[in-house]
């Protein structure tokens, strides 16, 4: 039989990818996944030690990987970075933070720290990436690291939920503004992923048990659980997806 449809490629050869917050955890996994798929990867973080080591490890297995120190909270530095580099075909907008506490205990300093990084910095990194693509006349894929907490609420998560719900709204509007430029924008919304940042929280047995009760598949997420989703959204396999959220939550939001 002839004329069978062919699955779009998940390969990213010839594409340039930028990952923020790339030194560890989800950001490092994103860099590793995109590099393995053939993209030329730039790992970004505020300090050099972890991204230097990661880029060396990736290069050691044959990936095209480099690193750049950039504080995404410094918007002048962000603008300068995108001005001084060719447009990136893929952005993984991953840098973020959390200060879990009851809403009645959230301080203005907490608010500014979480909203400043998770919303303001994410917005202007995406803006700079999109502006560069538009100027170059290139299509692209913006991938924002959201959370299941951008779809539901949770105790001690009012501030984090505020930031991730904002990211979901921004993403949908980005998609509408950028579609005519052939630039797609989507989020990934993970459940609790065990990373160096989250591992101390899971040392609390009661908290760990409460999380596992809500994750229907009965285990914490790993960074490997997100790597396929990242490559999918970066590649032609998701060519008709924009303004969407890929929820990887083990069933948390299903009820």
Catalytic center residues: 160, 164
* Joined tokens for residue 185: 């924008």
> Nearest-CA neighbor of 123 among 55, 174, 67?
174
Spacing of C-alpha 228 from chain mean position? 13
């Amino acid at each position: 039989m002839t004329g069978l449809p062919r699955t779009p490629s998940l390969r990213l050869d010839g594409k340039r990818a930028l990952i923020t917050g790339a030194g560890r955890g989800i950001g490092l996994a994103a860099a590793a996944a995109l590099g393995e798929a053939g993209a030329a990867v730039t790992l970004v973080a505020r300090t050099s030690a972890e991204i230097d080591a990661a880029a060396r490890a990736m290069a050691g297995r044959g990936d095209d990987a480099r690193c750049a120190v950039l504080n995404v909270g410094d918007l002048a530095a962000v603008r300068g970075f995108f001005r001084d580099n060719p447009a990136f075909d893929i952005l993984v907008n991953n840098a973020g933070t959390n200060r879990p506490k009851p809403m009645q205990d959230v301080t203005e300093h907490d608010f500014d720290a979480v909203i400043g990084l998770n919303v303001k910095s994410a917005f202007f990194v995406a803006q700079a990436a999109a502006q560069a693509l538009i100027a170059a006349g290139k299509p692209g894929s913006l991938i924002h690291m959201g959370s299941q907490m951008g779809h539901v609420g949770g105790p001690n998560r009012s501030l984090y939920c505020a930031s991730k719900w904002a990211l979901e709204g921004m993403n949908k509007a980005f998609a509408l503004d950028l579609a005519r430029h052939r630039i797609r924008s989507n989020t990934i919304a993970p459940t609790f992923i065990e990373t160096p940042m989250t591992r101390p929280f899971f040392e609390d047995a009661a908290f760990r048990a409460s999380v596992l009760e809500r994750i229907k598949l009965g285990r914490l997420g790993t960074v490997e659980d997100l790597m396929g989703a990242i490559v999918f959204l970066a590649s032609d396999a998701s060519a008709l997806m924009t303004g969407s959220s890929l929820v990887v939550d083990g069933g948390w939001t299903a009820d």
